Amino acid sequence: MNTPKLIATFLVVFAITSYADDAATLAATINGYTGGTGNLSASYSGNTVTVTGTKTNPTEGLTLDIDDGVSVIWKSIAYRNDY
């Protein structure tokens, strides 16, 4: 007599969690941006980041992943003048 065999397949799922950036990390990211001419300066206090400065002819994008509850006050000017 053949005995049925139980074949068990286990599926392991790993959750990948992506965290947004807090105020300190955002300020560091903005301060580290080097594309183009000029300078962006970011400072933070609590959950607020303030950005000042001027950046012309940026050579690459600046992507920010802003955490819930973090505010960014953008007082800087960024533009291209090669049209």
Q: What is the mean pLDDT of each run of 10 residues along the chain (83 residues)?
A: 47 44 93 89 96 88 88 87 67
Residue 4 lies in a domain: no
pLDDT of 1: 55
Residue 10 lies in a domain: no
Residue 14 lies in a domain: no
What is the spatial distance between Cα 51 and Cα 72, in angstroms, rounded to a whole number? 7
Residue 1 lies in a domain: no
Q: How many domains does the structure of the chain reveal?
A: 1
Residue 43 lies in a domain: yes
pLDDT of 78: 78
pLDDT of 41: 95
Range of the domain at 43: 23-79
| Whole-structure pTM value | 0.71
Beta-carbon-side half-sphere exposure of residue 80 (alpha carbons within 13 Å)? 7
pLDDT of 24: 95
The closest alpha carbon to 34, from 6, 7, 58, belongs to 58
Residue 2 lies in a domain: no
pLDDT of 4: 52
pLDDT of 19: 56
